[in-house]
Amino acid sequence: MFARHEHGYTLIELLVVLGILGLIAAFAVPVAGRAVEGVMLQTDARALVVAMRRLEAAAVAQQQTISLSAADGKLKVSSGGGLELPDGGEAKLSDGADHIDFFPDGTTTGGDLTLSQGGSSLRVEVAWLSGEVKLVDGQ
């Protein structure tokens, strides 16, 4: 009788392992995609906070009122131009407001701006008296 020495794996064992890896990948890819989308939205929201702080500084430096409006999901600045949103991103002001004013004395009309993309959303708060702009966790 010959002594059998097995080296390696059988085709069935390899197919079972590949099947298991395929199932894991099928569940992991959508979860990873949502995580990336959330990180991108947070990055865009932080950039929006910085841009709004610059609008406040520009209002003080230029001694003029600058308005930020949200129309059709886009952000427009009264001094010209607009603020870029992520692809498929949408912005809207809360409480039925149609704009936020940044005044030369550093105050604002205040308000909340919700930035959303896909199924995620983040809120940016603008304090009316101090003009402080800050990012708040999603709703």
Look at residue 139 and tell me whether its pLDDT is greater than 50.
no
- Residue with the two structure tokens 């069935």: 12
CATH of the domain at 54: 3.55.40.10
Backbone angles phi, psi at 50, to 5 degrees: -60, -45
Q: Count how many Cα atoms sit within 13 Å of the Cα of residue 24 in the half-sphere of its side chain.
A: 6
CA–CA distance, 71 with 106 (Å, rounded to integer)? 24
What is the span of the domain harbouring residue 97?
11-136
Q: Is residue 79 part of a domain?
A: yes
Q: How many CB atoms lie within 10 A of CB 39?
A: 11
Q: Is residue 1 part of a domain?
A: no
Question: What pLDDT does residue 86 have?
Answer: 59
pTM higher than 0.85, yes or no? no
Q: Is residue 94 part of a domain?
A: yes
CA–CA distance, 17 with 112 (Å, rounded to integer)? 51
Q: How many domains does the chain have?
A: 1
Is residue 75 exposed (0-12), middle (13-18) or buried (19+ Cβ within 10 Å)? buried
Q: Is residue 5 part of a domain?
A: no
26-62 confidence digits (pLDDT tens): 887 777 766 777 777 788 888 888 888 888 898 999 9
60-116 confidence digits (pLDDT tens): 999 999 988 877 767 888 877 767 665 667 788 877 778 889 999 989 988 888 888
